[in-house]
Amino acid sequence: MTAKVTVIDHPLIQHKLTLMRQIQTSTGKFRQLLKEIGMLLAYEVTRDLPLKYEAIETPIAHMNAPMLAASKKIVIISIMRAGQGLLESILELIPSARVGHIGLYRDPTTLMAIEYYFKVPQDIGQRDVLVVDPMLATGNSAVAAVDRLKEVNPKSIKFLCLLAAPEGIKHFHQQHPDVQIYTAAVDEGLDDRGYIVPGLGDAGDRLYGTM
């Protein structure tokens, strides 16, 4: 794996991911597991957030205590619709983060991403961006999203997904070699429909019960 791909293989994440993969897992359980994994993944993705020190008073003594530096402004960009599952869990950890949305759908014939919605904070040029989408399959949606975001020039971009395929990683980094990918697993590859194998099916359909 390249230096620009971080596989977060914590045992809790891997266990929950296995439960998500199973065909018999209900919509409600799938949704809950995605929320739990999203929070666990967010710990790793935010590992490099800078800290500042402030004087506080505990019940015992005064101390200089670490807090997140206010200068680190984050915006979470959800690739709709499946990205919403990861977005909601990360917002529970970082409620002060701004949010943006990119609506993309995959053409069933060409597998190319087609944009239908784009809304991001006006001050995105002063912010670090975390793009979230459960699946990095062909990489077309991720590439299209980052292409669009680079037009508005954020300070930095990271990409977070639940599962990735080698083909998607290769395609994404051919177009955006500067963007770090964070994922819970890299699977075997893609089938002839562009789905990740063994994967977990269509994340959006399983998240919202639209199969």
The question of whether 106 is a catalytic residue gets the answer: yes
To the query of whether residue 123 is one of the catalytic residues in this protein, the response is no
> From CA 41, how far away is CA 28, in angstroms rounded?
20
Rg (CA), the chain: 18
Per DSSP, 124 falls in state G
Q: Is 178 a catalytic residue?
A: no
Q: Considering 2, 110, 147, 191, which one is annotated as catalytic?
A: 110
Which residue among 21, 98, 106, 148 is the active-site one?
106
DSSP state at residue 175: H
Name the nearest CA neighbour of 130 among 42, 61, 205, 206: 42
- Cβ of 77: how many Cβ atoms within 10 Å? 28
Say how far residue 145 (Cα) sits from the centre of its chain: 12
Catalytic residues: 106, 110, 202, 205
